[in-house]
Chain A
Amino acid sequence: MGSLFRSEEMALCQLFLQSEAAYACVSELGELGLVQFRDLNPDVNAFQRKFVNEVRRCDEMERKLRYLEKEIKKDGIPMLDTGESPEAPQPREMIDLEATFEKLENELREVNQNAEALKRNFLELTELKHILRKTQVFFDESVPTVYKSSGTHSSNKYRRYLQMADNQNEDEQAQLLGEEAVRASQPGQNLKLGFVAGVILRERLPAFERMLWRACRGNVFLRQAMIETPLEDPTNGDQVHKSVFIIFFQGDQLKTRVKKICEGFRATLYPCPEAPADRREMAMGVMTRIEDLNTVLGQTQDHRHRVLVAAAKNLKNWFVKVRKIKAIYHTLNLFNLDVTQKCLIAECWVPLLDIETIQLALRRGTERSGSSVPPILNRMQTFENPPTYNRTNKFTKAFQALIDAYGVASYREMNPAPYTIITFPFLFAVMFGDLGHGAIMALFGLWMIRKEKGLAAQKTDNEIWNIFFGGRYIIFLMGAFSMYTGLIYNDIFSKSLNIFGSHWHMSYNKSTVADNKYLQLNPNGDYEGAPYPFGMDPIWQVAGANKIIFHNAYKMKISIIFGVIHMIFGVVMSWHNHTYFRNRISMLYEFIPQLIFLLLLFFYMVLLMFIKWIKFAATNAKPYSEACAPSILITFIDMVLFNTPKEPVKDCQTYMFFGQHFIQVLFVLVAVGCIPVMLLAKPLLIMQARKQANIQPIAGATSDAETGAITNGGVGGGQHEEEEELSEIFIHQSIHTIEYVLGSVSHTASYLRLWALSLAHAQLAEVLWTMVLSIGLKQEGWFGGIILTCVFAFWAILTVGILVLMEGLSAFLHTLRLHWVEFQSKFYKGQGYAFQPFSFDAIIENGAAAAEAE
């Protein structure tokens, strides 16, 4: 089994498949997911490829399936998802599938069309029903006023309104036109008032009225009434509000005008009989027809529902099958057809360790297709840059993704991912260190891990949840390490645990305590002599006044210690790379000066820190008492700048140990001397080697190794004949050197963010305690209990929201930066490209995700 420490060895292979067996073999390889095919027809148009018809048919099938899916979702029918992946069907089964989908689609379309027509009919009948009902009101209103006669009302308009009543109203004997009107009108003129009744959208009514008034110069009369219940629009199923209207007019000209305006405003007109008896008859007819229509509509919907339910059972299965078929034909399009037209040739990258598995899969495919000729897998020699393949499992996948997000590793260079598994959560924990918050994080991660299978099966497209779930192992480890660093920092929700008893003891008497607001313990006496065995002494947490001073000194030092060690680790990784790629020049003239530079300057500073911790104590006599402890930063700066240090206080010494000055000067000189070596040695040697190669073109063996050394080690796709220009090499090397030298200073300082974030986290937790929770805890009585409950809820929300989520995200980001920049810049080239095997699982997941996004 390949290890995660380097990417896998890959081989470029040629695959010869018989045309009959090709489909089955590709199907087997897709299930396996270990082969990356190359496109052998890059300049062929997508429409000119061999299997474009099959792909088109698959697209059609997918379209039909998507239509079915949409209809099923519209009805809210649940789709069965067993989660298992059916095998890709044989080519001959494709025709069956196509026929099934065609039938289903046609049936569904027909049902939908029928339903729409029925609904339209239903709408018309409903509107007609409303019209009949409402116009009844209009006509009814004319009845009593006729008996009241013209004496009481004088307005012309009102009289005209009376006249507009039904002409032949035999029952009520209403006279449409009064006697006077008949006499007053010109003989021969048609006095009959016409009317149109219809239905219009309520929103359009005011504009409609205005238009009517203007166009007909006020000679028409509109009466309208709202329909209370909203009606369903057949095309899109929206509920719309409509109103019934009836327009009275005189003459044909007005009639045409009114009809045109109604058309313009898309009001539907209905024939409304004038006689009330007719209207009642019509109303009853309409009611019966509506009943019938409802029954038919119900049956149509039932039928549709049945069809969809039957389809829903297999829909996911079909989707998977169609996607697999399409994927296979896409892949077959990448192949080359050989001269005899009998076999397909493919070129693919395969991991060396998996060649056996692939051979087995090919054999299985050949057997399934019933072909007699076995497929041939030939390994080819190539100078091309293979893809980078890191075999990961569910645990290591997330860490590898973190590394790949910055840049995929070059082929066969050292992979930082296995170390990241531990260093990433650890550096996060240094910044996050709180037992309580770490516990919350660890429990969350643990819950996600325990419920892995169930949670993974519920495929949601909630991005944020998917990110959290994908990083569940990272979150768990971050939480676990944070609990450890929380124990060491002795910080649980900004309080300390006193497990072993503090190693600081007070020795005050009552008057001292009464007289002084602040009392500082003396390390020479109040301190036991041995430190608290595990972590920070709990007395520091309650020493509110100078806790931060002590913590700062401690945390800054550990930040630099861990930072320098992390960077040395990075440089050592580059040694592994140089050894593997047999890059002797780089090893001698890059790695060794780099390491010496880092060790002599920055690791020396780390050693100084340890020396100061051990040598200087308050219990010591001068010059090793606490009064004489030198600042390490000042010492370091003086060392590098060759300054003479300031005069120390009386009885103290400038230096910590004997010979320090001499050692420091020596170290700085050697370190500075490494810089020109880093800058010039490698390019000069290459220059010399090339001169030799030119003089002795035959003896290429040794010089090739040197010149070849330039182009390998991660520069993608280079052929060995092509050499970098010498000036390029010098420039590259100088950039590299400057980056390293300046970087070593800036990166060392950059690690101080470990201190900064840890301080911020501790202070935030303390603020939450002081300003929120302690106020709640100080309340008394039963009412205080209620207040405490509310305050606790508030505190808990802030703790999770600010301290765990926000600070967690922040520390995560900073740790990521530390890994990507400070650690990886020491050795990582990251110029490879990822191995993307032809795998059904990946395609189906992507297909499902793309479909959800639509």
Chain B
Amino acid sequence: MEVFLTIFFFTALWAGVARFGPILMSKAPQQDLVRCCFLLAAVCCWLFWLCCYLAQLNPLIGPKLNQNTVKIIAEAWDNPIKAG
């Protein structure tokens, strides 16, 4: 569920940028160029985000932490080490 919502949110976000971004520059003379640029930028950025998201969606390996890092994470990221 969280996955779908996140994907939907970012897709909607970048679609919004592509659709409504050119309004920011409505006074520029070459409107077609402005629309093209916003569309391209939105597509590129969205695709880049999507690839990163999908690559981490089903990870096949986990991160390998060294001992020190484990202890720091336990304190800093509120992920305490269980007793025993």
Which residues of A come within 8 Å of B, CB atoms?
1, 3-5, 396, 418-419, 421-423, 426, 430, 484-485, 488-489, 498, 501-502, 504-511, 513, 516-523, 526-527, 529-537, 539-540, 542-547, 549-550, 553-554, 557-558, 561-562, 565, 610, 613-620, 626, 629
Query: 5 tightest CB-CB pairs across the interface, nearest first?
Result: A543-B63, A617-B58, A521-B62, A531-B56, A626-B60
Q: Is the CB of B48 within 8 A of A558?
A: yes
Do B52 and A535 touch across chains, with their CB atoms under 8 A apart?
A: yes
Residues of B within 8 A of A510 (CB): 81-84
Pairwise interchain contact A613-B77, C-beta atoms closer than 8 A: no
Question: Cβ of A554 and Cβ of B52 under 8 Å apart?
Answer: yes
Would A509 and B84 be within 8 Å (CB), given that A517-B67, A614-B54 are in contact? yes
Q: Which residues of A contact B63 (CB under 8 A)?
A: 504, 520-521, 539-540, 542-543, 546-547, 550
Residue of B nearest to A505 (CB): B79
When the two chains form their complex, are residues A554 and B55 in contact, meaning their CB atoms are under 8 A apart?
Answer: yes
Q: Is B29 a contact of A519 with CB atoms below 8 Å?
A: no
Least CB separation from A3: chain B residue: B32
Q: Name the residue of chain A whose CB is nearest to the CB of B40.
A: A422
- Give the residue name and chain of the A residue nearest to B44 (CB): A426
Contacts known (A501-B77, A510-B81, A613-B57); A516 close to B67, Cβ less than 8 A: yes
**A519-B70 contact given A4-B30, A626-B60, CB 8 Å threshold:** yes
* Residue of chain A at shortest CB distance from B4: A530
Q: Which one, A498, A518, A527, A536, contacts B65 given CB within 8 A?
A: A518
Chain A residues within 8 Å of B66, by CB: 517-519, 544-545
Residue contact A522 to B83, C-beta cutoff 8 Å: no
- Residue numbers in A under 8 Å from B62 (CB-CB): 504, 520-523, 526-527
Contact in complex: B74, A506 (CB < 8 Å): yes
CB distance from B10 to the nearest CB of A (A): 8
Note all chain B residues with C-beta closer than 8 A to A619: 58
Point out the residues of chain B lying under 8 angstroms from A557, CB to CB: 51, 55
B1, chain A: closest CB distance, angstroms: 8
Q: Is B12 an interface residue (CB 8 A)?
A: no
CB neighbours (8 Å) of B70 from chain A are 506, 508, 513, 519
Chain A nearest Cβ from B5, distance in angstroms: 9
Q: How far is the CA of A423 from the CA of B58 in the complex (A)?
A: 29
Partner of B81, one of A489, A502, A508: A508
A-B contacts, 8 listed (Cβ < 8 Å): A396-B33, A426-B45, A488-B52, A510-B82, A532-B56, A533-B6, A614-B57, A616-B58
Query: Which chain B residue lies CB-closest to A558?
Result: B51
Residues in B with CB closer than 8 Å to A511 are 84
Q: Nearest Cβ distance between residue B78 and chain A, in whole angstroms?
A: 9
A516→B36 CA distance, assembly (Å): 55
Q: How many A-B residue pairs have CB under 8 A?
A: 180
A530–B3 contact, CB under 8 A? Answer: yes
Q: How far is the CB of B30 from chain A (nearest CB, A)?
A: 7
B64 engages A518 (CB within 8 Å) = yes
Which of B32, B40, B49, B60 has most chain A Cβ within 10 Å?
A: B60
* Docked-complex contact A523 and B77, CB < 8 angstroms: no
A422 to B40, CA, bound (A): 7
Q: Which residues of chain B are within 8 angstroms of A517 by Cβ–Cβ distance?
A: 66-67
A545 touches B64 (CB 8 A): yes
Least CB distance from A535 to B in Å reads 6
Indicate if the CB atoms of A520 and B40 lie closer than 8 Å. no
Bound Cα distance from A422 to B36, whole angstroms: 9
Does B58 lie within 8 Å of A614, measured CB to CB?
yes
Q: Could you tell me if A509 and B48 are in contact, using CB atoms closer than 8 angstroms? A: no
In the complex, the chain B residue whose C-beta lies closest to that of A531 is: B56
CB-defined contacts of A419 to chain B, threshold 8 Å: 36, 40
Tell me which of B67, B72, B83 has the highest count of chain A C-beta atoms within 10 A of its own C-beta: B67
Once bound together, how far apart are the Cα atoms of A532 and B49, in whole Å? 11
Contact A520 B60 (CB under 8 A): no
In the complex where A511-B84, A518-B66, A543-B64 touch, is A422 in contact with B59 (Cβ < 8 A)?
no
B61 close to chain A: CB less than 8 A: yes
**Additional A-B contacts beyond A536-B52, A550-B61, A613-B58 (18; CB < 8 A):** A5-B32, A422-B41, A422-B44, A498-B77, A501-B77, A509-B81, A509-B84, A513-B70, A518-B66, A519-B65, A532-B56, A534-B10, A539-B65, A539-B73, A554-B55, A614-B54, A618-B59, A619-B58
- A396 and B34 CA atoms in complex are apart in Å by 11
| B53 touches A (CB below 8 Å) | yes
Contacts of B72 in A (CB 8 A): 542
Does the CB pair A520–B65 fall under 8 Å? Answer: yes
**B35 → chain A closest CB, angstroms:** 11
Considering the chains assembled together, what is the distance between the CA atoms of A551 and B81 in angstroms?
A: 27
Interface-central residue, B2, B58, B74, by most chain A CB under 10 Å: B58
CB of B71 closer than 8 Å to a CB of A: yes
Cβ contacts under 8 Å, B32 to chain A: 3, 5
Determine how close the nearest CB of chain B comes to the CB of A534; give it in whole angstroms.
Answer: 7
Distance A494 CA – B79 CA, assembled complex (angstroms): 23
CA distance A505 to B40 in the complex (A): 37
B23 within 8 Å of A by Cβ?
no
Chain A residues near B84 (CB-CB < 8 A): 509-511
Query: Chain A residues with Cβ under 8 A from B51's Cβ?
Result: 554, 557-558, 561
Q: Are B82 and A509 in contact (CB under 8 A)?
A: yes
Taken together as a complex, chains A and B put the C-alpha atoms of A3 and B47 apart, in Å, by 27
In chain A, what residue has the closest Cβ to B42? A422
For the complex, what is the distance from the CA of A3 to the CA of B51, rounded to whole Å? 33
> Which residues on the B side are within 8 Å of A506 (C-beta)?
65, 70, 73-74, 79, 81
Contacts of A484 in B (CB 8 A): 45, 48
What is the CA–CA distance of A843 and B74 in the complex, to the nearest angstrom?
A: 69
0/1 per residue, B1-34, Cβ < 8 Å to A? 0110010001000000000000000000110110
Chain A residues with CB under 8 A of B65 = 506, 518-521, 539, 542-543, 545
- The answer on a CB contact under 8 Å between A537 and B56 is yes
A517 to B68, CA, bound (A): 8
CA distance A530 to B57 in the complex (A): 6
Cα distance A243–B49 in the bound complex, in angstroms: 82
Q: Which residues from chain A contact B33 at a C-beta distance below 8 Å?
A: 3-5, 396, 418, 421
In the complex, residue of chain B having the shortest beta-carbon distance to the beta carbon of A541: B63
Residue of B nearest to A527 (CB): B59
Whether the Cβ atoms of B57 and A546 lie closer than 8 Å is no
Asked if A519 meets B81 with Cβ closer than 8 Å, knowing A430-B48, A537-B56, the reply is no
